[in-house]
Structure 1
Amino acid sequence: MSGAELLDALVLLHRAQAELAGLEPVLIAAARAAGVSWQALAPALGVASRQAAERRYLRSASAQTDHPGATRDDRVQAERDRRAAHRAVAQWANDNTADLRRLAGQIAALTDLDEAATSDLAQLHQALGDADATALPALLAAAHQHLPDHPDLAAQIDTVTSRTDQIRRQSPRRGGET
């Protein structure tokens, strides 16, 4: 092969590598959405642990984030912080299940809401039958917009939303935990 042909081959190789590298986070995200665990992904990615698999995914994801200047490690930590906040809110919701279900039940029982509320109320009603209460705060927040004629219920939702927002802000950084 000539020097020019070798250079052309290297250019093609570089393009192919870039294209394949762009596919990896898409495939990992699809696998995670399909229920594949980080532990199961680790050997497929050629890494030794679930933490390394998650780190590789977060680092290979596009640098286009809400914080364009963020480093890869910043994105990894931000994802861990987001998950820690989610866990903290989930724990709070499960600790306050009775109050959340009472409020959700009162809203789901309303008969004077407009048709635009149908979908949100159906989701709220379905969540009442779920053993896990973690979905209730978000579903209550979604129902809030349909309650202009029920200021007392809307105020209770505001209290729930304020509390979950506070928990998210106060959630400790959990370095090293995934």
Structure 2
Amino acid sequence: MASNRHLGRIIILQSLYEYEVRSLAGDATADINVIIAKNIEPYVKAVGDTDFIINTTKGILEHQEKLDQELHPLAPEWPLASIAAIDRNILRLGLYELEAQAVPPKVAINESVELAKAFGSENSSKFVNGVLGTAYKQLGFEKSEGTNEQSKTSSVEGEKPQED
């Protein structure tokens, strides 16, 4: 079974994806609080810390415009609108966790890559790894971990994300 935090990230991704798809479809009843509660309910005992899910999901939505602006130069050939909704939300989650620094940077990247492997297209994990690896370098985490360790999150050029 997935760890509590990993399961929490799956629920976060599911909630972000559902909210975005319903909102883009013009569903005026899309309420993130209701969506989160519905998605947590079957797993409440397994996840334990529901605050992590609620706070992270709402934090991403609160900072979505900023996150999207930061993601654009990290994948300039792939405007966010052309990236599949699932991949967009994985990138938002990964970047949010990198910036929040609540977990080590490589954990944030690895968790996002694992989500992309599970829920994205064939190339999603490589694309997510490349974009977040670039963010990792640009945010200065690579320097803070020392120059002797080679980053396992190097940018993968030319990988095509899943399109909507």
Q: Which has the higher helix share?
A: 1
Under a length normalisation based on structure 2, what TM-score does the superposition of the two structures give? 0.31
Greater Rg over alpha carbons, structure:
1
Under a length normalisation based on structure 1, what TM-score does the superposition of the two structures give? 0.29
